[in-house]
Amino acid sequence: MSDSDPRGGNERDWPLFEVFIRARTGLHHRHCGSLHAADPEMALARARDVYTRRGEGTSIWVVLSDRIHASDPADKDMLFEPAMSKIYRHPNFYDLPDDVENM
């Protein structure tokens, strides 16, 4: 891959995008990696070329890396422990109809 693009600019100066792919058999998108692109459309095209060469995906998401806000793993107890004390929210308290799939 070239370090420059006809649209101008150096590829290393382009923003970094995170790539998420939904597999054919999946119900959710999974993080596959990162890539540099000049804009979201280019990021989608590059993600398709790099991460779905065998046609295994059904959907692609690209997100600017600097737009992702994440919690710190050190804050796990503060974030998730209060939910554990609310057992009525656990799925074992609900009956699902037989025709409900993928739960």
Residue 6 covered by a domain: no
Tell me whether residue 26 is in a domain: yes
CATH number at residue 36: 3.10.20.520
| Contact (Cβ atoms closer than 8 angstroms) between residue 49 and residue 62 | no
Q: Is 69 a member of any domain?
A: yes
**pTM, 2 dp:** 0.68
Residue 3 lies in a domain: no
Whole domain around residue 32: which residue ranges?
A: 11-93
Number of domains making up the chain = 1
Helix, strand or coil, per DSSP, at residue 21 = strand
Give the distance, in angstroms, between the CA of residue 62 and the centroid of all CA atoms in the same chain: 7
* Residue 43: pLDDT over 70: yes
In a domain, 5, yes or no: no
Q: Is residue 52 part of a domain?
A: yes
Band of pLDDT at residue 1, cut at 50, 70 and 90: very low
